[in-house]
Structure 1
Amino acid sequence: MPHTTLRRGCCFSPPLDFYYCHLFRSAIHLTVSSPPRMGAARRTQNVIPNNNAPSSPSHATSLASTRNLSKIHLGGVIFGCTNSTKKECLFKQLFGLPVHHFSYVKNIDPGLPLFLFNYSDRKLHGIFEAASSGQMNINSYAWAADGSERTQYPAQVQIRMRLQCHPLSEDQFKPVIVDNYFKHSHFWFELDHAQTNRLLCLLSASAVAPSTSAPQNTTKWRTLFQAPQSPDRRNESESFRLPSEEVSGYSYNSNGSLGSSDGNNQPLEVCLEKQVVEKDEKDLIYMKLKELALNRESSNSSLSMTGSLEDTVAVNDMHLDLEAQKISQEKNEESLVNSFDYPSIISQLIQEMKELKAFKTEQVQKMAYLEQKLDYSEIQIRQLKDRCMMLESTSNPSIEFVNETVMESFNELNLDLDEWIFLVGGYDGVSWLSALNSFSPSHDVIKSFKSMNSLRCYASVAKLNGELYVFGGGNGSSWYDTVESYNPANNQWSCRPSLKDKKGSLAGATLNNKIFALGGGNGIECFSDVEMFDIDVGRWISTQSMLQKRFALAAAELNGALYAVGGYDGKDYLTSAERFDPREHSWTRIESMNTKRGCHSLAVLNEKLYVIGGYDGMEMIPSIEIYDPRLGSWMNGEPMNLSRGYSAATAFKESIYVIGGVKAGENIVDIVERYEEGKGWQVTNLKAIGRRSFSSAIVL
């Protein structure tokens, strides 16, 4: 099978930053935050011609499109069911939609309000909330007739009941989400914050009494009620509002993008989402207090209430309990609370919320830092143990070791290099690496070899005559033109002739016993140049350039031809791809991909190209595209479980392994996913590698 050579790396700054800033000076901060958005949010149309196809765990009509709301604008999601699937949804506490809905289901975080629409009677049930993040295939066999077939609704989220309410008929809830209706009886499932809040109010007004409702998560209830307003009070009610809050703490960067100035280096999406939540909570508290007072005054200070009324407002673990019995005992007072005291009460509540949020944020940051240090320490300890065992075995072969599996794996390494995946350089979340490691997926064991002569990331790797060649890249502050090769026979690195230019985020591949270095950039400009290393000539030679500039591209050899895919041209991320045929000595365009992407990976499996993940100019993506040169076209594959870029990937034993990388808004990940034809993507429990990104992977 032709060997696959991978290249990661990405211009994770807007174009102006790419041209006028040094890419690496802020690399550490950028690896733990969302990549900057490079344009307005786009609404993707996923037209399904058959309007009778199921769009949820029901046999109901499918959506004609999605709104594609971004994560900060997503206020809630409606899932679907029928009479035959509703019971299973509630029993398993699981909602699901077809795979094309994953574009927004993946934006669901724990706590997001959810609703369930029954296509059979066209009623909306709630209030539910997400108990997990939106994921693919939480239960791969849910809603299947006999449990033997894979689910048709893999875009799933675990749920819990927030507040049990009487269902709403379509006549009741349709005015609230009327903007989502694209046909008379078909609507989009994504809700913005305003729509979600109105649905919460509407459902909460018909909440089921606690004595007849099922056990619920009371810590998150938001039981709302509205008192009728007299005409003469309506204007006063509308004019008595909290001052609108301005979005403060942000400034426009030199590139025109909005950034945070609070000193916390938090992604803008996170800051905005927190402000949206805080504003909703303030408005909710104020609305409830105002309605209580108006209800009291409109009944001439003689408010009488039957039964029990509980109102629990969840405000970051603070609860404001208003008991009906206490209200009844004070019915002779002129007013429940003097309306002029409301601003001071609300101000006090807001201040306490801010203090609690600040404390919680500080604790979360400390925990994340400690977890990161612990993971790094475990990796270092494991590597030191492995090194000690090897040294002891060399000095005293009679020593018996407890970890026989590790020693057996080392012996296997000496016998068969094809059993291991080699990882070169990168970044582990703490420091840039010069390490060369081999990884055995079958034993979950990692072995360290002699390190490179330089710290190196964003480099490319290729094999030639049984040796590994590593070229280009950088050390966190500058780019390289240096090249070095590793000989596994003597565990030694050798310096090789340098590239003609300093460059990083380039791609590399071997063709006809020659190494090709494609594209890349130097922080000032992107390159379309291609350099070729001929071991007989002993130097790098400029050869036919690509048709397009490509930084953070991916390349591979397949059936005697080179393929260069995607990347960044200095202005935009690319969908284009091209092929180099050495017999014609020229590059030709092939069909473009469906999705823009850079800092992605490329692997060859069963004579097809697999383009994996990357960054589309807006966010990290999990999508996969497959190119079959016999058909000359791209097709969409099953997406990964995790959106990521800057990952290392390679084909190994009829599977593709994707290792580490960066997930938007988070630290460097330690998750390894494996793909097999016919089985799709699976998250493994392999942990030997730990956190790693900006590295390269190859099989000798």
Structure 2
Amino acid sequence: MSCSSSGSLSPSNQAANAPKQTARREWKYIASEKTTNNTYLCLAVLDSVLCVIFLHGRSSPQTSPSATPCLMKSLSFEAQPEELEEHPLSPMHYARSGLGTAGLNGRLIAAGGYNREECLRTVECYDPKEDRWTFIAPMRTPRARFQMAVLMGQLYVIGGSNGHSDELSCGETYDPHADEWAQVPELRTNRCNAGVCSLNNKLYVVGGSDPCGQKGLKNCDAFDPVTKTWSNCASLNIRRHQAAVCELDGFMYVIGGAESWNCLNTVERYNPENNTWTLIAPMNVARRGAGVAVHAGKLFVVGGFDGSHALRCVEVYDPARNEWRMLGSMTSSRSNAGVAMLGETIYAVGGFDGNEFLNTMEVYNPETDEWNDCTKALSPLSD
């Protein structure tokens, strides 16, 4: 063979004259029934496609007792769509609340969190194409009540609580190519329930609760991954912990949370150009422990806790109008759940529903304004 300049392979004359080899196709017989003297109706699977096959036998008498009836090769194939069955989205291996969640390389990452027994080190990775959770390398430190962000292709987790001692100041970063976690320089202040966000190639840690866990903080710190140093930024207008934090169009948004025990509906926006915080339109529902995702230039705030109950309600913020509106509610109440965007879908995973810690997941379709905890897959064919 000769190789063309474009990199495509062109056959030589000898190869062109060689008999073509047909790729082997996978068949699976299901059932058949005789419809007339010379016709059979068959069901089979050909390359994962369900087919109806009509077999027409030759009506002329056989010329030899050993001859086999010749079936016409012009078979009639009618591909039938295989039935799709709904089944629940695959749950995580562990129930988790107060976990860190992020989308990375087309996968959903769920790290740490706590259940009724302990804080977790384990990290799970969800493949939406396979609807399957697998484990990746665990964190160095068990932690819950923290948030996760993606910066320069790596995951970052900062602060939180290990369930046994005071709030943590340590942080870690995950390299997906090496499947390893490495330590990052510690925060200047121990804290948990802080918001974490990447903005302009820096990692921001916002608010959180003090070492006694009694009140929120105004602190805002930025980490430079190049110099591996922390610096102070302007303080929030309002103390907050368990706020939802995200980046949109070059601004950082800090949404809801609580000052001490009272839940907030206030929202602040940070401008890194002049290092200032501005209060913008408040949410319709005061909440802490909510999740947030960005889609189509808008902020989607999911679930949380209103001081009395875990929430199912969801609302969206339009920065062009500076207004919030309510959306379709989740199928389950979830506070301190993980929320992340993959493709055109918003995922809510884990959390606490007011009675138990959850390992379940549900997805939101912005086009239909609907949440669903099921996925459709081909129904298995019986032998």
1:488 to 176, 184, 208: 176
CA offsets 1:207-226 (integer angstroms, 9 cap, x no match): xxxxxxxxxxxxxxxxxxxx
TM-fit CA distance, 1:646 = 1.1
Residue 261 of structure 2 contacts residue 307 of structure 2 at CA under 8 Å; is this kept in 1? Answer: no
What is the distance in 2 between the residues matched to 1:671 and 1:434? 19
Residue 641 of structure 1 contacts residue 681 of structure 1 at CA under 8 Å; is this kept in 2? Answer: no
CA offsets 1:130-161 (integer angstroms, 9 cap, x no match): xxxxxxxxxxxxxxxxxxxxxxxxxxxxxxxx
What is the distance in 2 between the residues matched to 1:597 and 1:560? 25
TM-fit CA distance, 1:620 = 1.3
Cα separation, partners in 2 of 1:601 and 1:379, compared to 1, 3 Å: closer
Kindly provide the amino acid, as one letter, of the partner of residue 125 in structure 2. S
> Who is 1:512 aligned against?
200
Kindly provide the amino acid, as one letter, of the partner of residue 328 in structure 2. E
Residue 216 of structure 2 contacts residue 259 of structure 2 at CA under 8 Å; is this kept in 1? Answer: yes
1:556 aligns with 2:284: no
TM-fit CA distance, 1:428 = 4.2
What is the distance in 2 between the residues matched to 1:513 and 1:417? 16
TM-fit CA distance, 1:548 = 0.5
What is the distance in 2 between the residues matched to 1:438 and 1:430? 22
Residue 104 of structure 2 contacts residue 153 of structure 2 at CA under 8 Å; is this kept in 1? Answer: no
Give the secondary structure class of the aligned counterpart of 2:274. Answer: coil
TM-fit CA distance, 1:425 = 0.7
Cα separation, partners in 2 of 1:637 and 1:685, compared to 1, 3 Å: closer
Residue 481 of structure 1 contacts residue 499 of structure 1 at CA under 8 Å; is this kept in 2? Answer: yes
Kindly provide the amino acid, as one letter, of the partner of residue 141 in structure 2. S
Gap runs ≥5 in structure 2: 1-89, 95-102, 376-383
What is the distance in 2 between the residues matched to 1:460 and 1:644? 16
> Who is 1:672 aligned against?
361
Residue 556 of structure 1 contacts residue 563 of structure 1 at CA under 8 Å; is this kept in 2? Answer: yes
Residue 671 of structure 1 contacts residue 683 of structure 1 at CA under 8 Å; is this kept in 2? Answer: no
1:610 aligns with 2:300: yes
What is the distance in 1 between the residues matched to 2:312 and 2:371? 13
> Who is 2:215 aligned against?
525
1:647 aligns with 2:334: no
Kindly provide the amino acid, as one letter, of the partner of residue 144 in structure 2. C
TM-fit CA distance, 1:682 = 3.0
> Who is 2:263 aligned against?
573
Kindly provide the amino acid, as one letter, of the partner of residue 330 in structure 2. M
> Who is 1:467 aligned against?
154
Kindly provide the amino acid, as one letter, of the partner of residue 650 in structure 1. A
Kindly provide the amino acid, as one letter, of the partner of residue 503 in structure 1. R
Kindly provide the amino acid, as one letter, of the partner of residue 483 in structure 1. G
Give the secondary structure class of the aligned counterpart of 1:443. Answer: coil
1:421 aligns with 2:108: yes
Give the secondary structure class of the aligned counterpart of 2:353. Answer: coil
Give the secondary structure class of the aligned counterpart of 1:454. Answer: coil
Residue 344 of structure 2 contacts residue 365 of structure 2 at CA under 8 Å; is this kept in 1? Answer: yes
1:439 aligns with 2:126: yes
RMSD between superposed Cα atoms in Å: 2.0
TM-fit CA distance, 1:461 = 1.2
1:601 aligns with 2:288: no
Give the secondary structure class of the aligned counterpart of 2:178. Answer: coil
Give TM-score, length-normalised by structure 1: 0.38
**More helix as a share of residues:** 1
Kindly provide the amino acid, as one letter, of the partner of residue 508 in structure 1. V
1:476 aligns with 2:166: no
Give the secondary structure class of the aligned counterpart of 1:432. Answer: coil
CA offsets 1:629-651 (integer angstroms, 9 cap, x no match): 11111111111122220111111
CA offsets 1:613-663 (integer angstroms, 9 cap, x no match): 111112112111110111111111111122220111111110101111111
What is the distance in 1 between the residues matched to 2:271 and 2:329? 30
What is the distance in 1 between the residues matched to 2:359 and 2:104? 24
Runs of 4+ in 1 over 6 A off after TM superposition: none
Cα separation, partners in 2 of 1:672 and 1:502, compared to 1, 3 Å: same
Give TM-score, length-normalised by structure 2: 0.68
What is the distance in 2 between the residues matched to 1:513 and 1:473? 22
Residue 673 of structure 1 contacts residue 681 of structure 1 at CA under 8 Å; is this kept in 2? Answer: no
TM-fit CA distance, 1:430 = 3.8
What is the distance in 1 between the residues matched to 2:122 and 2:369? 31
Kindly provide the amino acid, as one letter, of the partner of residue 455 in structure 1. P
Kindly provide the amino acid, as one letter, of the partner of residue 351 in structure 2. G
Kindly provide the amino acid, as one letter, of the partner of residue 120 in structure 2. L
Cα separation, partners in 2 of 1:490 and 1:671, compared to 1, 3 Å: closer
What is the distance in 2 between the residues matched to 1:417 and 1:630? 28
> Who is 1:547 aligned against?
237
Q: With CA pairs under 8 Å and 6+ residues apart, which has the higher RCO, 1 or 2? A: 1
TM-fit CA distance, 1:681 = 2.7
TM-fit CA distance, 1:671 = 2.7
Residue 156 of structure 2 contacts residue 174 of structure 2 at CA under 8 Å; is this kept in 1? Answer: yes
What is the distance in 2 between the residues matched to 1:500 and 1:417? 28
> Who is 2:276 aligned against?
586
TM-fit CA distance, 1:487 = 0.8
Cα separation, partners in 2 of 1:640 and 1:562, compared to 1, 3 Å: same
Residue 331 of structure 2 contacts residue 373 of structure 2 at CA under 8 Å; is this kept in 1? Answer: no
What is the distance in 1 between the residues matched to 2:93 and 2:290? 26
Kindly provide the amino acid, as one letter, of the partner of residue 502 in structure 1. N
TM-fit CA distance, 1:477 = 2.1
TM-fit CA distance, 1:571 = 4.8
Kindly provide the amino acid, as one letter, of the partner of residue 680 in structure 1. D
> Who is 1:500 aligned against?
188
CA offsets 1:135-191 (integer angstroms, 9 cap, x no match): xxxxxxxxxxxxxxxxxxxxxxxxxxxxxxxxxxxxxxxxxxxxxxxxxxxxxxxxx
What is the distance in 2 between the residues matched to 1:568 and 1:494? 31
Kindly provide the amino acid, as one letter, of the partner of residue 178 in structure 2. N
Cα separation, partners in 2 of 1:486 and 1:680, compared to 1, 3 Å: same
Residue 556 of structure 1 contacts residue 564 of structure 1 at CA under 8 Å; is this kept in 2? Answer: yes
Cα separation, partners in 2 of 1:419 and 1:536, compared to 1, 3 Å: closer
Gap runs ≥5 in structure 1: 1-374, 381-415, 687-700
Cα separation, partners in 2 of 1:424 and 1:379, compared to 1, 3 Å: closer
Instruction: Write the mapping of 1:85-234 to structure 2, written as runs, cut at 5 A.
Output: none
Give the secondary structure class of the aligned counterpart of 1:640. Answer: coil
Kindly provide the amino acid, as one letter, of the partner of residue 588 in structure 1. T
1:636 to 326, 332, 351: 326
Cα separation, partners in 2 of 1:559 and 1:455, compared to 1, 3 Å: same
> Who is 1:534 aligned against?
224
What is the distance in 2 between the residues matched to 1:492 and 1:624? 35
What is the distance in 2 between the residues matched to 1:590 and 1:417? 30
